[in-house]
A and B are shown apart, each in its own frame.
Chain A
Amino acid sequence: MARIELKSLEHRYASSRKGKSSFAIEDLNIIWEDGTANALLGPSGCGKTTILNIISGLIKPTGGEVLFDGVEVNNRATRNRHIAQVFQFPVVYDTMSVMDNLAFPLRNRGHDEKEVQSRTGEIMELLDLNKLADMKAERLNPAEKQIVSLGRGIVRKDTVAVLLDEPLTVIDPVLKLDLRRKLRLVQRELKLTMIYVTHDQHEALTFADHVTIMKDGAVVQSDTPEGLFLKPSTPFVGYFIGSPGMNMIPCENNSAGLEVTGSPLFIPKSIGGKTDNLEGSIELGIRPEFVETSIKELPDWNRFEIRSLDHAGAYQILTLESGSIRIKSRVEDHFVSKEGDPVWVNFPTDKTNLYANGKLVTP
């Protein structure tokens, strides 16, 4: 396994219109440490698959460097990079058995048959494929095919990293959890460097120790799942992570604190915190999970009205309104209320984030 680094990576697509070219990725810098479970998260089309293909060598970047353990590999052919890649649509060699599928990468490189047998045996054991060993690959269901794809990736001992490109896309929801668990297990057992690309935040946050969020070809934030959850660096990350996403409230700075545009709400200095030097457009961000909601009126708390309630089993999501401001708040299942009721809301200082001009203000 290795440490993978992208330095000033840039890639643009050839375009059909003369003169204009579109950058898929510009000045990208990311480091993935050896043996870590990582996710590359972002909306569709932000360049994630391109990055994977650049790392594995299927695409040559128009600029920048790709480094494995500090060594530049830009000019190394795919087969010499020892990368394993699991694609979105399961790829197996239909005419071969499961065992032969797993043996394929080893046999291609000339390993002797005894070694091939023992290694594929190990991997089949690890991935629980023994029962399917002799079955023709075309007969497997998509989830099994993806496991075999993964197996082909890790069967080589010199694999540098495993790249997964939205591998659960075509898998039945029922089987997704099982597959995710297997991926995690394999990563931990073999201490693989894994890069898991997805647009599904749930997949990313449950799989990875470290998540990089991308948008429009650039890194927005790179952090642990808790970091992303508690301290999103931009409103985009706030919306994208969490279900429902972070509430964003536009405000204006005045000497006593923050005034909320379009609403009678007022955030006193004690809550808003260090707002003195803030200039430009200001937003207050707080996650529905952290919004404190009370039926009883409490001093310094702001009044909202309930617009709607959504029951989600163990909890409820309230949509609250004050003037032209709408926020969501998460409350317990037994919170009794109905549409139109007034509630009083507080934003705890330690869980409230302030954003100036789209960037998190750090104390």
Chain B
Amino acid sequence: MRQRPWLFLLPTLILMSISAFVPLMAVINYSLHTIFAGSTPEYVGLQNYTDVMGDPQFRGALRRQLTFSLIVLLIEIPIGVGIALCLPRKGPTVGLSLVLLGIPLLIPYNVVGIVWRLFTQSDIGVIPRVLSMFGYKYNVSLDASDAFMTILLVDVWHWTPLVVLLAYAGLQAIPQTFYQAAEVDGASTWKTFRYVTLPKLRSVLTLGLLIRFMDSFKVYSEPLLLTGGGPGNATTFMSLFVARKAEAYELGYAGASSIIYLYVVIVMSYILFQFINRPPEGKRA
């Protein structure tokens, strides 16, 4: 009986060791060596790590990433909750709404990139044309802030539905009686939201926050396709930065930056988690 849990976990453990554990060890291994194409790797201890941390390019990418992730959260969570509040709760329209919401989430990331490239290209895109009607010269490939804003917009467009779905699930879980009681107590719409809905959404919102935070660190295809990481470094976020180093076969560097990158994500997620989801103090018997 004692062995049963582990038996049940066996398939998972096997799959995860191949997909996760072994590659991770490999990456750590790379990070401790200098590797050149064609020659044997040379053990350098933590040298790569200090190189990476000292590299302004790396620090720039990290800073850009954190800014991006933060702004993304500030926009997507409120909008997501707002839309979820507007969704129907019962009836035939529910299924339809869920399908519509799911569609942006099902588009391969590079198709997203392609579509938005269509939208934003100087020569054939809708956005430059529309904006020029208002007198704004929009150029995603030359203007750094245009590029950054565009990637933001793409992410919001792409991922807010996920927040909506999560918030919706959370809302469905709130029993009607709480709203009835608020009605009986004469609470205004805002007060009902603040004292009933929001507290009860806390765990789901934490989830949404964490998922979006972690996933925003992975943004890769969209900047790659839309701006190539530019202009200059304006939209070179962490994932892009590391992938470039790996493609250039600077595996030692890539390995070290990967580990730091991973570490940052885990630590920040943990902090966020603790901050938002303070465990409730003990309940009275």
Is there an interface contact between B181 and A85, defined as CB atoms closer than 8 Å?
yes
CB under 8 Å from chain A, chain B span 184-230:
184-188, 191, 195-196, 199-200
Complex interface: stretch among B159-167, B172-180, B233-241: B172-180
**CB proximity to B under 8 Å, residues A81-111:** 83-85, 87-89, 91, 93-96, 104-105, 108-109
**In the complex, which residue of chain B has the Cβ closest to the Cβ of A93?**
B195
Q: Is A140 an interface residue (CB 8 A)?
A: yes
* A78: interface (CB < 8 Å): yes
Contact, CB under 8 Å: B181 / A87: yes
Q: Which residues on the B side are within 8 Å of A109 (C-beta)?
A: 186
The 8 Å CB contact of A108, one of B181, B188, B280, B282, is B188
A95 touching B199 in the complex, CB below 8 Å, given contacts A79-B184, A108-B188:
yes
Q: B283, A108: Cβ atoms under 8 Å? A: no
On whether the beta carbons of B183 and A94 are closer than 8 Å, the reply is no
Whether B195 and A108, one on each chain, are in contact in the complex, defined by CB atoms closer than 8 angstroms, is no
Size band of the interface chain B makes with A: 20 to 34
B180–A85 CB distance below 8 A = yes
Residues of A within 8 A of B281 (CB): 136, 139
A283 lies within 8 A of chain B by Cβ: no
Q: Does A259 contact B (CB under 8 A)?
A: no
Chain A residues near B186 (CB-CB < 8 A): 79, 105, 108-109
Residue of A56, A104, A136 with most chain B CB atoms under a 10 A cut-off: A104
A residues 58-86 touching B (CB-CB < 8 Å):
58, 78-79, 83-85
Instruction: Quote the shortest CB–CB distance from B184 to chain A (angstroms).
Output: 5
Q: Is A149 an interface residue (CB 8 A)?
A: yes
Q: Which of B184, B186, B188, B280 has the most CB of A within 10 A?
A: B184
In the assembled complex, the Cα of A79 lies from the Cα of B179 at a distance in Å of 12
Please give the distance in Å from A77's CB to the nearest CB on chain B.
9
**What is the chain B residue whose CB lies nearest that of A92?**
B181
Q: Is residue A144 within 8 Å, beta carbon to beta carbon, of the partner chain? A: yes
Partner of B184 from the list A78, A94, A141 (CB cut-off 8 Å) is: A78
Is the CB–CB distance between B284 and A141 below 8 Å? yes
Q: Given the complex of chains A and B, what is the CA–CA distance between A153 and B184 in angstroms?
A: 9
B18 at the interface (CB under 8 A from A): no
**Do B188 and A56 have beta carbons less than 8 Å apart?**
no
Residues from chain A with a CB closer than 8 A to the CB of B180 are: 53, 58, 85, 87
Q: Are B195 and A96 in touch, CB under 8 angstroms?
A: yes
Given contacts A79-B186, A89-B175, A108-B191, contact A139 B282 (CB under 8 A): yes
B133 on interface, CB distance cutoff 8 Å: no
Partner of A93, one of B177, B184, B188, B196: B196
Residues of A near B187 (CB, < 8 A) are: 104, 108
Known: A89-B177, A91-B178. A104 touches B185 (CB 8 A): yes
Complex CA distance for A136 and B181, rounded to whole angstroms: 18
Q: Does A138 contact B (CB under 8 A)?
A: yes
Asked if B285 lies at the interface with its beta carbon under 8 angstroms from chain A, I say yes
Q: A139-B283, A141-B284 are in contact. Are A79 and B191 (CB under 8 A)?
A: no
B residues apposed to A, CB below 8 Å:
175, 177-178, 180-181, 183-188, 191, 195-196, 199-200, 280-285
> Can you name 4 extra interface pairs (CB under 8 A) apart from A105-B185, A138-B283, A153-B184?
A79-B186, A89-B177, A105-B186, A141-B283
| A-B residue pairs, 3 tightest by C-beta | A91-B181, A108-B186, A79-B186
